[in-house]
Amino acid sequence: MREADRQYFQRLESQLDEAFDVAERAKEGSLDPEPEVEIPVAKDMADRVENILGIEGVAERVRELEGQMSREEAALELAKDFAEGEVGDYETKAGKVEGAVRTAVALLTEGVVAAPIEGIDKVELLENDDGTEFVNVYYAGPIRSAGGTAQALSVLVADYTRALVGIEQYEPRQEEIERYAEEIGLYDKETGLQYTPKSKETKFIAKHMPIMLDGEATGDEEVSGFRDLERVDTNSARGGMCLVMAEGIALKAPKIQRYTRNLDEVDWPWLQDLIDGNYGGDDAAEADEDDGDDGDEEAESADDADEEAAAGDDPDADESAGPPRVDESTKFLRDLIAGRPVFSHPCAEGGFRLRYGRARNHGFATAGVHPAAMHLVDDFLATGTQIKTERPGKAAGVVPVDSIEGPTVKLANGDVRRIDDPEDALEIRNGVEKILDLGEYLVNYGEFVENNHPLAPASYTYEWWVQDLEAAGADVQALEDDPHVDLEFPTADRALEWATEYDAPLHPEYTYLWHDLSVDSFCSLAETVADGRVTDDGETLVIDHTDVVRDALETIVIEHRQREDRLEIDDWNPFVRTLGFEIRHTATDGASVQGSDPGGRVVELERTWTDDDLSERARNWGHEEVGENAIEAVNEVAPFAVRERAPTRIGNRMGRPEKSERRDLSPPVHTLFPIGEAGGAQRDVAKAAKHAETMSDTPGVVEIQVGRKRCENCDSETFKNRCPDCDERTTPDYRCPDCDQRVDPDEAGRVECDRCEVEATCVETREIDVHEEYRDALESVGERENAFEILKGVKGLSSTTKTPEPIEKGILRAKHDVSSFKDGTVRYDMTDLPVTSVRASELDVDVGQLQALGYEEDVHGEPLTHEDQLVELKVQDIVLSDGAAEHMLQTADFIDDLLEQYYGLDPFYELDDRQDLVGELVFGMAPHTSAATVGRVIGFTSAAVGYAHPYFHAAKRRNCDGDEDCVMLLMDGLLNFSISFLPDKRGGRMDAPLVMSSRIDPAEIDDEAHNMDIVSQYPREFYLATREQADPEDVDVQIAEDTLGTDGEYTGFEHTHDTTDIAMGPDLSAYKTLGSMMDKMDAQLELSRKLAAVDETDVAERVIEYHFLPDLIGNLRAFSRQETRCLDCGEKFRRMPLTGDCRECGGRVNLTVHKGSVNKYMQTAIQVAEEYDCRDYTKQRLEVLERSLESIFENDKNKQSGIEDFM
């Protein structure tokens, strides 16, 4: 580790120690559940893994293996140790497999989640029909928190260990295979899966799975077929198993394949078929497997390849006969939601163009979009908005990058302009008639590595061209140093000069999208240009306005003006040269002059070729259709090489909107103090304090379940943490429910009555005087009731010991308008985004503040003196959104009051404004995990996201594809978190800071972050390899993994693209600013009409199919089998009471699903189907539904009359 890094961590840790000291002092004599801070600091991952598993020797072995290999490999290595009995003390084969599987999951989740212990129930051996034994792994619901990769790997590890200890493979019975398919469908319907394999896919997996996946029943709904199977214990869906199969194996097949390839003992040849979606050819493939003849298999795959090629239009063509293109994938369009627009259909012309590179606020499941494009898609995209994308991953968080090319639009006045400035975008937005091209879309190399996705052909961009130029022999360094030359945005003349002088391809700035133009259109364009004339002192090329030519110009995305009778192109020189024209200047007699230059010369365009000159190859060039791509024609007629400008388009649609919101329980809770129903629906403590059930009851006395506690000193009983009599700390008083015998917890914390063998409990129903508690608390912190609007408690407690929180804390929370999460902490949620370098100016801080945090140099090693200098972000420094900063300030005020008025100490924070927050420590904490990561505030952004180092997010086990998590103020966590508040149910210990990591060890974070590239330039070979659609692993670009374990592991995160500000484009997505669902959907459909890359009919179809129809059908179904509810007392009835009135209170009973909620979308859906010309099938489904609604809601004998009846 470098000295600078050491200092940084020391600094964080000493700051942490200081806070710890204060907190420990506060807790010492407190009324809190424990007299000390309840969040321990974890040393390293190995420790966590061993502790969570309780298997000795694991930590040591993990540390040993860590330096040598990846964690996945270590998991497999450990499996070997388990199999050989070197680790773990297991007698049975099943035990060995179990130990290996648990360890693998713990290792892959860095020992921070409960999945390894709670998610795997057991491993057992069962018998195949031929009498051999196989492995059965029982999964439980919490395996979810392990994530797909760890789930999938757990299966592989189980199989690997199985092979090592010598157990046979699982031979599924036909009914078991069918059961898997039905069950996954059932689970998806009941609970929902992130990815639901089709039943064919499930059966394919089930058939080939070498171990049996089984699990606990997690739902009430039972399968209807394939019940009571001998080897399946339950007829309900087994949630853990479904997750592992669907989101693990099916979804992460490419990832597992990486590891199966390296293992001799296991062979999963069917993974390739699974990845290819080739489940049909099942039988043939199987026959081959049975033969065990590798040669055959190869022949088969060769056949497949041939078939694929033959599927193209030209059967004679081999691979090289067409331009390299990726295949369309429509997966991302599934489950389209009303109000969340499609930006581009799969691989559609006019859609986002793939550009390779990593911006400084980019990488780790993000997509760089030009801020002008964000505005032009009617503000639907904002920083942090999630998009579902075609490739390379499934989803990505959007980040603004303005160093890439912006969108090109056609305005109502006929101008076609490229918009590279967000300000311009806002100015012209109302006049946009069509968005011809969405501009570039920045994806970093690491994304392809992470998703194991073959490289897609790269756009021809400056980064590539400049290396081509250098390769062609130009002195690029000299050109860069020349102040008169702008290499990236040269003049047309310069660009042409380089193209001809160095024999390098034409500069991308003047390379148009010829590959989207058909050869026919290309010829027509040339013909029209031949008749064109140059006017305006040689500035402008004017050609005839015909539909074909206009379309051609729009297709190749060149800036021009469309006028009634003519089309005008400025900067036309490279365009006509590319079209194969010679430009001649001839002297004129001044009489018949059109387009003469001041020198009195006429510019003449001479077409150097005829249509017949084009070779057969050029004429037929195309990917899907013959002659659809004019790039070869261009290269034959142009005097220089022209590369394909944008061969890869990436389809995407909006996913979730970005988030930056305080986390409130619903209803919000100020104090975890139970008040039952006495506080009304608002859970108002003040109201509960006055509440009396009847006239004879004492106001404020409420019967409530709380934990009984006993004072060891004076033996008095209470529910408080300190004895009201002698102020000693109390302990939970467990008693046997049967014999009332007092039971003390054993070493493992279990409380069981020896005599009755039942679990003892300390929970009792007790009368609590809320009024007294409330008054005492107000007095103790010295606040009056008017200090806050309302103080909300909880109805009851859900923890094991039902320990209430002191009301005092709630009073102070209410005073500062913050609310508590289930564990006593105050939280603020933000969408995660990565950033590796920042400027003081964009963070609303000054250089001095950065310097005070230890930032001394900028990214180039120059001393930091100016706000605009880029500095490399330290791994645990985070940027808060404006909202988060505001909320943190409130929390800090609350903490200060708490320390002063409750704990009797000095205030800790004393912040005046948000600038004072800079340098303060916070906890970052993600859902489904149980470990918090310490972070330090470095600045603020107006984007509604939490920017931090990718390693910080990875330490929390998040990536940035739209994930969100929370921050807590450090002292809040230390003072107010208690394990005793956590709910006593499966998953209750998730999302709670059971431990904290004080420093990030790059080796111990989610390894997804290691795949992020950290270079400032991708090599030319990389771009060439993309044309071959090479495996990303075969290309040499440095990724973070390469620096692990070196001195440079915390630094050197370079980027290829800068961006002016990490918050550009709209601050909030239109999805959040538009009001009703209808407004959003109207905007969505309106946008789909504007976008050239979007088929609005398809969007309308999908909105109807995935949103309106399910809503209508679901509500109609709900209507005809609904519950009813009493309007007065809220009592629910399964069926309408025959009395008509409420059986409980005699009040009015009404339906819970009304006509209005059933048919609210009916007319809109019909209208949309009509307006956007949907299929008859869709329209008929709506017709049938509409008639159903009429039939149910209209009286045949008294049809509702329309308004016209009254006119």
User: Does residue 287 touch other proteins according to CB under 8 A?
Assistant: no
* 420-428, 943-951, 978-986, 1110-1118 -> range binding other proteins (CB under 8 A): 1110-1118
User: Taking CB under 8 A as the rule, which mask of x and - marks residues 191-210 in contact with other proteins?
Assistant: --------x-----------
Q: What are phi and psi of 406, to 5 degrees?
A: -85, 180
User: Does residue 421 touch other proteins according to CB under 8 A?
Assistant: no
* 636-644, 937-945, 989-997, 1134-1142 -> range binding other proteins (CB under 8 A): 1134-1142
Which among 635, 621, 607, 639 has a CA at the least distance from the CA of 519?
621
Which among 3, 26, 151 has a CA at the least distance from the CA of 899?
26
- What is the closest distance, in whole angstroms, from the C-beta atom of residue 322 to other proteins in the complex? 30
Number of residues that bind other proteins (CB under 8 A): 51
User: Does residue 1123 touch other proteins according to CB under 8 A?
Assistant: yes
- What is the closest distance, in whole angstroms, from the C-beta atom of residue 238 to other proteins in the complex? 17
* 309-317, 751-759, 815-823, 1115-1123 -> range binding other proteins (CB under 8 A): 1115-1123
User: Taking CB under 8 A as the rule, which mask of x and - marks residues 226-265 in contact with other proteins?
Assistant: x---------------------------------------
User: Does residue 1116 touch other proteins according to CB under 8 A?
Assistant: yes
**What is the C-alpha separation between 153 and 104, in angstroms, rounded?**
8
Residues 6+ apart with CB under 8 A from 1028: 324, 455
- What is the closest distance, in whole angstroms, from the C-beta atom of residue 1123 to other proteins in the complex? 7
- What is the closest distance, in whole angstroms, from the C-beta atom of residue 236 to other proteins in the complex? 13
Residues 68, 192, 224, 1203: which binds other proteins (CB under 8 A)?
A: 224
Which is closer to other proteins, CB of 489 or CB of 1177?
1177
Neighbours of 635 (CB within 10 A): 17
* b/e per residue 272-285 (b: at least 16 CB within 10 A): ebbeeeebeebeeb
**What is the C-alpha separation between 810 and 675, in angstroms, rounded?**
13
Owner of token pair 């910080």: 952
Reported as half-sphere exposure (CB side, CA atoms, 13 A), residue 1182 has a value of 24
Residues 287, 548, 852, 1184: which binds other proteins (CB under 8 A)?
A: 1184
Measured CA distances, 833 to 111, 262, 620, 945, 947 (Å): 24, 34, 45, 7, 5
Which is closer to other proteins, CB of 502 or CB of 1193?
1193
The DSSP string of 833-867 is EE-SEEETGGGT--HHHHHHTT--B-TTS-B--ST
User: Which residues, numbered 1149-1168, are part of the site for other proteins (CB under 8 A)?
Assistant: 1149-1151, 1154-1155, 1158
Encode 486-512 in three state secondary structure: CCCCCCHHHHHHHHHHCCCCCCHHHCC
Residues 46, 65, 105, 181: which binds other proteins (CB under 8 A)?
A: 181
Which is closer to other proteins, CB of 225 or CB of 483?
225
φ/ψ bin of 207: left (φ > 0), alpha (ψ from -120 to 50), beta (otherwise): alpha
Residues 7, 698, 1046, 1120: which binds other proteins (CB under 8 A)?
A: 1120
Which is closer to other proteins, CB of 221 or CB of 570?
221
User: Does residue 334 touch other proteins according to CB under 8 A?
Assistant: no
Report whether 1093 contacts 1169 (CB < 8 A): no
**What is the C-alpha separation between 631 and 659, in angstroms, rounded?**
43
**Tokens linked to 289:** 């497997």
**Tokens linked to 761:** 């409990």
Which is closer to other proteins, CB of 92 or CB of 1180?
1180
User: Does residue 1122 touch other proteins according to CB under 8 A?
Assistant: yes
- What is the closest distance, in whole angstroms, from the C-beta atom of residue 84 to other proteins in the complex? 42
Which is closer to other proteins, CB of 692 or CB of 1113?
1113
Which is closer to other proteins, CB of 847 or CB of 1109?
1109
User: Does residue 185 touch other proteins according to CB under 8 A?
Assistant: yes
Residues 862, 1136, 1163, 1173: which binds other proteins (CB under 8 A)?
A: 1136
Neighbours of 565 (CB within 10 A): 7
Report whether 268 contacts 256 (CB < 8 A): yes
- What is the closest distance, in whole angstroms, from the C-beta atom of residue 1172 to other proteins in the complex? 18
Report CA torsion sign: 315, 320, 321, 326. positive
Residues 563, 742, 985, 1187: which binds other proteins (CB under 8 A)?
A: 1187
User: Does residue 175 touch other proteins according to CB under 8 A?
Assistant: yes
Residues 6+ apart with CB under 8 A from 452: 254, 255, 257, 258, 1032
Runs of H (alpha helix) within 342-389: 371-376
**What is the C-alpha separation between 605 and 591, in angstroms, rounded?**
19
* 416-424, 604-612, 736-744, 1187-1195 -> range binding other proteins (CB under 8 A): 1187-1195
Residues 681, 695, 1138, 1203: which binds other proteins (CB under 8 A)?
A: 1138
User: Does residue 1198 touch other proteins according to CB under 8 A?
Assistant: yes
* b/e per residue 908-938 (b: at least 16 CB within 10 A): bbebeebeebbbbbbbbbbebbbbbbbbbbb
The DSSP string of 906-945 is --S---SSGGGGTT-EEEEE-TT--EEEEEEEEEEESSSE
User: Does residue 1134 touch other proteins according to CB under 8 A?
Assistant: yes
- What is the closest distance, in whole angstroms, from the C-beta atom of residue 508 to other proteins in the complex? 43
Which among 360, 498, 455, 1194 has a CA at the least distance from the CA of 858?
360
Which is closer to other proteins, CB of 225 or CB of 590?
225
* 263-271, 605-613, 657-665, 1138-1146 -> range binding other proteins (CB under 8 A): 1138-1146
- Residues at the contact surface with other proteins, assessed by CB under 8 A: 175, 178, 181-182, 185, 199, 223-226, 1109, 1113, 1116-1117, 1119-1124, 1134-1140, 1143, 1149-1151, 1154-1155, 1158, 1176-1177, 1180-1181, 1184-1185, 1187-1189, 1191-1198
